[in-house]
Amino acid sequence: MTIRLNEPALRQARKLVREGEVVRDERDDWSEHAPTTEQENAFIDEHGWTEFRHWHLGIDDGEDDETKEASSFPYGDFERVHRCAVISLESRAGQYDHDEIRDAARKLLELIDAEG
């Protein structure tokens, strides 16, 4: 399992933050704000796997590109960046030694807070 930083997703996240497409929620809100399995499936059906991957800062090169297992560390709800998601993914990335993803999430969180 080799999870790496998803650069296109990071670029999209930064762009969304600069455009004000951010939910400035609290640290523990992600469990309630995260898309459901049904919402994920509907998004994939409508937009495809590439767009789905653009909502995740982690990519697992060992998984099939057209599976959810290939994408990790979600940062939003397919419309907006959620501050709580970025906090959560920063913590999880650090916990599992994905330093590049952790550092990107930290900088994204700084951008969110600066734009607020």
pLDDT at 28 (0 to 100): 86
Please report the pLDDT score of residue 1 as a whole number: 62
pLDDT confidence band for 3 (50 / 70 / 90)? very high
3-class SS of residue 57: strand
Tokens matching residue 44? 């994939």
- Per-residue pLDDT at 40 exceeds 90: yes
Query: Is the pLDDT reported for residue 2 higher than 90?
Result: no
- pLDDT of the residue at 82: 97
Which pTM does this prediction carry? 0.95
| Mean pLDDT, the chain, whole residue set | 95
Tell me the domain boundaries of the chain.
Answer: 3-115
pLDDT at 27: 80
Closest CA to 51 of 37, 71, 35, 36: 71
